[in-house]
A and B are shown apart, each in its own frame.
Chain A
């Protein structure tokens, strides 16, 4: 408790909203509430911005993962006050952290890396997050680079470029002439539906719609997993937990295609922020600060204060000992309030997520190598659709490789993120390891199994040598608020995009402030920014 005296007390001591954690959803809420004229205090126990959306140097990245893999430490404190104090606990989001070191080089240059915790994640140029970035003007705090190409694992482990646009279809060597025709014709058909509507049933599974259009298995796979970014094998509807309807499939294609060419400097549909995704939550924080939000980092919240009946939220007690009151409290998803609640309080689901995902996990991986997985590409996406790695693979593995030109690693180095939805950690690791084996050459000494297979593969194609890798499993289980005035933000999810997080965050804001606009449109024109600051550097 001695160190807490180092902190000057926070003035004032009463707020409309206290937000704990500076992850992306928390930062958006803070910025939106500040913009709506609310008094907001934004706290983070960590010395950096971003919490679970942060981008960290390699050392810090590992220690953050480790610290959030341990069992929660309950800091039980009794209170002498009239108010009831509930200690704030954390729960581990990550598990099964596994680090493979093939070279000490990355660790020696720890500070030259900026690694995303919730990776892989990127933006489609026309997606809702980019729109919000432009609307709020935070693009002035950020710069982007184009993720120029995407690849899909074709037959025999070969990476083929994804024919996602007219010119990509023209260019690709992986499609035969009639396939090129079919695919382009399908894109045109979708365009027609978007313009003129359609008689067809938009609620049937998207995969059935594709079959009806006579598309080959290969084309269906390309559309479903590399453009519509489906997680589960859409061909096995009985195991599929995210059946994409025709309506949403078409909307995803439309979003993808309107992303191509939105910004003159981005060649493809996808962009990535320079210095990592952590920049995004930080930019929202800056935006919030401009609007009067107070920021205090390195400031843990010890407990939540309730009124005497134990049902109504009053405020928080900080590690400094200071007690602050607020009307509302937002907590990052890694916090929990122990279940030993006073009787009469019921747990309600505040976040509407499909229940199937509630139990899910996402396996994430990071690989560092000296060479690109595709010699001609620097920043790129790679997709391993279901069944492309092994027959029982039911979810797709998505890979984002970044080069030093986005400022996340030293020059001549590549950072590669992988992720896959899974039911358990065994399955998750199997998925990621299969993908890593397909992409990288792993030094024989450290490879315990399948040596022969590895050697055979290595000769077939020049693959980059893996220097360092980390695998971990992130829990997607949500902890839901118990009190009307205390809400939890959504956690980093399994998607490449932020659409669901943004949706959930906006809903959350509406629950908190039903009468306020979620970032009211300001007089500054969006179009101005399109030509100005957001223009991506070549």
Chain B
């Protein structure tokens, strides 16, 4: 029951409970004896009833009952003389469950047993509904009862519309009822999916529901049950078909490829890529996480032998395998100066589905050309051994090279050919706009934190809907308002500051990347002045923006050099999509473990990494470390050979997380100075581990 404070037991009660415990132990041992010896006499069954009535949590007891009932029913079927009628046997079971529930109406075993009895075709749904009525009167939020109610209504084929009305009544009675709101969301999902009468216009239904729940929010903004439902509604409103929103290489680009070191650069006129394996990455970036990207849903056509049956990998996939970014490797064309055409068709065939169950049905086309540069071995080793200083003067803003600016502009502009560009229905946008107005109204009188959070989410949702299907930036994006809201929230609700910082970061990233102009301000060309002709990178600088996570990678797929220093980063999830990234600066952030850097393992081109002045090793208890993959966790368990590990030297055992990260990185330059974990032993270990390493904390390794 809710809202009833616990009382400390009195001496009398303590004595009582110890007597009860002794009695229970006795009953329990008797039951186990009967169970073991398969004794199903009347007396034995009576003992089990006594046990279950005083302790409904006894699973073995319920199991024994099931066997006993089956035994009695079988006897009856075999027409034995003194057998009981199935009716009375099952009635006894129902009575027992009711008594057990009276003692504890949250006993899983008892509810389960009742379902089992019902599966024997006994009791009537009406009787069950009456029982539920009584129990829900006792505690209207009891989720067991709600769960069982769904089971019974299914059995009795009660229309979902009626059940929806029931949730309305329960919510009217007391809207602080998570279970009722939850059931409402379940029923509405079903009705909307079936397009039942009166529920065929999703937008209208959602808009009515928004109004309904708003009453709860205004009445008591501090009660979170309604907000949860509001959030669910928002999710439903945002439910859109997933779309491909960007790719690498981008549509219409020319790709220069080289086997080893490209001599056809430095140049911004083309994108180049180098690989010893003679493959280049093709990345598809979706508007939300999807599954089902495969050679059967994505067709890639070459005018050369690009390889059949591409294998698509999700980058930064969640547990269910959904990912926003998908990667496949495409073979280089044969050495020739001619450009070869590659045409990618996404979702020509169904199969790509978003995590909210929406199929990607809008096919889209991406085409680009690829050509291989002739090799020139002369410079081949120079670039990789050169130290990247990240100096300010080496960075050239795009404005200094107008033609570069043009290319960047074309890169920043997402350009994908789609047929029948889908758009958001006006009604949806109106609904969200209306919710925004109401939230502002609520906030004008109440300073409640969850109201601020919802307003921020609504504004973000509004942006998402307005930009859905079109790549142009929108004029009325309210970024400053959203940022101010999250800023307030960080101050008001320190306990959840991490979450707010993350959301804040998403908005900052969105704001910076949403239009070409602002993005271009961050872009530039990096050249080491000492060796101007050798290395040049397309570079993006996102320094000192208070970012705690990265996002909007769809705009940055082409980036080779990224400066994320002076932020609040704790994680770099999502960065996996930047397959062309060579140099990454993460200094002066809040990374607290090597494990947090695991996504770097997906970046095959990464050569230069700066994680100096972070908090790696600074926290004795690093919860984050265990949230990420580790030997204890199945995601990396397969590649982790315990046996081998045991035989290796003590350093490897000691620095197991560093080992797991760096063994797969092919770094030439690494900076880790300024982390608590760094000592001579680790440095020696890392130098030994990474044979390609040339520069370590600013000093030459060899």
Q: A167: CB under 8 A from chain B?
A: yes
Contact B215 A180 (CB under 8 A): yes
Contact B218 A180 (CB under 8 A): yes
| B444 contacts across to A, CB distance below 8 A | 178
Stretch at the interface among A181-189, A201-209, A412-420, A479-487: A181-189
A-B pairs with beta carbons under 8 Å apart, 21 shown: A166-B220, A169-B219, A170-B175, A170-B216, A171-B172, A171-B215, A177-B215, A177-B442, A178-B441, A178-B442, A180-B219, A181-B218, A181-B219, A181-B221, A181-B445, A181-B446, A182-B445, A184-B218, A184-B220, A185-B445, A185-B446
User: Using an 8 Å CB-CB cutoff, how does the interface string of A164-198 with B read, 1 for contact, 0 for none?
Assistant: 00110111000001101110110000000000000
| B549 contacts across to A, CB distance below 8 A | none
Which of B219, B221, B438, B441 is within 8 Å of A166, CB to CB?
B219
B498 to chain A, nearest CB (A): 29
Contact A170 B172 (CB under 8 A): yes
Interface contacts beyond A177-B441, A178-B445, A185-B445: sample of 16 additional A-B pairs, CB < 8 Å, sorted by A: A166-B219, A170-B215, A171-B215, A177-B214, A177-B215, A177-B217, A177-B218, A177-B438, A177-B442, A178-B218, A180-B219, A181-B442, A181-B445, A182-B445, A184-B219, A185-B446
A167 to chain B, nearest CB (A): 6
| A169 contacts across to B, CB distance below 8 A | 219
With both beta carbons as reference points, the residue of chain B lying nearest to A171 in the complex is identified as B172
CA distance A384 to B217 in the complex (A): 29
Question: Within A290-308, which residues are at the interface with B (CB < 8 Å)?
Answer: none
With both beta carbons as reference points, the residue of chain B lying nearest to A172 in the complex is identified as B215
User: Using an 8 Å CB-CB cutoff, how does the interface string of B154-175 with A read, 1 for contact, 0 for none?
Assistant: 0000000000000000011111
With both beta carbons as reference points, the residue of chain B lying nearest to A264 in the complex is identified as B137
Binding site secondary structure of chain A: helix
CA distance A181 to B444 in the complex (A): 11
CA distance A31 to B220 in the complex (A): 46
CA distance A35 to B629 in the complex (A): 79
| A180 contacts across to B, CB distance below 8 A | 215, 218-219
| B220 contacts across to A, CB distance below 8 A | 166, 184
CA distance A167 to B221 in the complex (A): 14
With both beta carbons as reference points, the residue of chain B lying nearest to A183 in the complex is identified as B219
CA distance A180 to B214 in the complex (A): 10
CA distance A219 to B517 in the complex (A): 51
B174 to chain A, nearest CB (A): 6
CA distance A171 to B175 in the complex (A): 10
CA distance A178 to B444 in the complex (A): 9
| B217 contacts across to A, CB distance below 8 A | 177
Contact B172 A167 (CB under 8 A): yes
CA distance A170 to B172 in the complex (A): 7
With both beta carbons as reference points, the residue of chain B lying nearest to A214 in the complex is identified as B445
A177 to chain B, nearest CB (A): 4
CA distance A181 to B446 in the complex (A): 8
| B214 contacts across to A, CB distance below 8 A | 177
| B218 contacts across to A, CB distance below 8 A | 177-178, 180-181, 184
| A178 contacts across to B, CB distance below 8 A | 218, 441-442, 444-445
User: Using an 8 Å CB-CB cutoff, how does the interface string of B293-335 with A read, 1 for contact, 0 for none?
Assistant: 0000000000000000000000000000000000000000000
CA distance A184 to B215 in the complex (A): 11
Question: Within A490-537, which residues are at the interface with B (CB < 8 Å)?
Answer: none
| A166 contacts across to B, CB distance below 8 A | 174-175, 219-220
A265 to chain B, nearest CB (A): 11
| B216 contacts across to A, CB distance below 8 A | 170
CA distance A178 to B445 in the complex (A): 7
For the complex of A and B, the 9 pairs showing the least CB-CB separation, nearest first, are A177-B218, A180-B218, A170-B219, A169-B219, A181-B218, A180-B219, A184-B219, A170-B215, A170-B175
| B172 contacts across to A, CB distance below 8 A | 167, 170-171
User: Using an 8 Å CB-CB cutoff, how does the interface string of B270-302 with A read, 1 for contact, 0 for none?
Assistant: 000000000000000000000000000000000
Question: Within A137-181, which residues are at the interface with B (CB < 8 Å)?
Answer: 166-167, 169-171, 177-178, 180-181
With both beta carbons as reference points, the residue of chain A lying nearest to B175 in the complex is identified as A170
With both beta carbons as reference points, the residue of chain A lying nearest to B451 in the complex is identified as A181
CA distance A184 to B174 in the complex (A): 14
| A182 contacts across to B, CB distance below 8 A | 445
| B438 contacts across to A, CB distance below 8 A | 177
CA distance A124 to B100 in the complex (A): 38
With both beta carbons as reference points, the residue of chain A lying nearest to B172 in the complex is identified as A171
| B221 contacts across to A, CB distance below 8 A | 181
| A167 contacts across to B, CB distance below 8 A | 172-175
| A181 contacts across to B, CB distance below 8 A | 218-219, 221, 442, 445-446
CA distance A160 to B442 in the complex (A): 23
A536 to chain B, nearest CB (A): 15
CA distance A181 to B215 in the complex (A): 9
A94 to chain B, nearest CB (A): 43
CA distance A181 to B220 in the complex (A): 7
B546 to chain A, nearest CB (A): 32
B402 to chain A, nearest CB (A): 54
| B175 contacts across to A, CB distance below 8 A | 166-167, 170
| B219 contacts across to A, CB distance below 8 A | 166, 169-170, 180-181, 184
B210 to chain A, nearest CB (A): 12
B664 to chain A, nearest CB (A): 55
| A177 contacts across to B, CB distance below 8 A | 214-215, 217-218, 438, 441-442
With both beta carbons as reference points, the residue of chain B lying nearest to A185 in the complex is identified as B446
| B173 contacts across to A, CB distance below 8 A | 167
CA distance A514 to B221 in the complex (A): 53
User: Using an 8 Å CB-CB cutoff, how does the interface string of B410-452 with A read, 1 for contact, 0 for none?
Assistant: 0000000000000000000000000000100110111000000
CA distance A180 to B212 in the complex (A): 13
With both beta carbons as reference points, the residue of chain A lying nearest to B215 in the complex is identified as A170
User: Using an 8 Å CB-CB cutoff, how does the interface string of B207-250 with A read, 1 for contact, 0 for none?
Assistant: 00000001111111100000000000000000000000000000
User: Using an 8 Å CB-CB cutoff, how does the interface string of B162-193 with A read, 1 for contact, 0 for none?
Assistant: 00000000011111000000000000000000
User: Using an 8 Å CB-CB cutoff, how does the interface string of A11-23 with B read, 1 for contact, 0 for none?
Assistant: 0000000000000
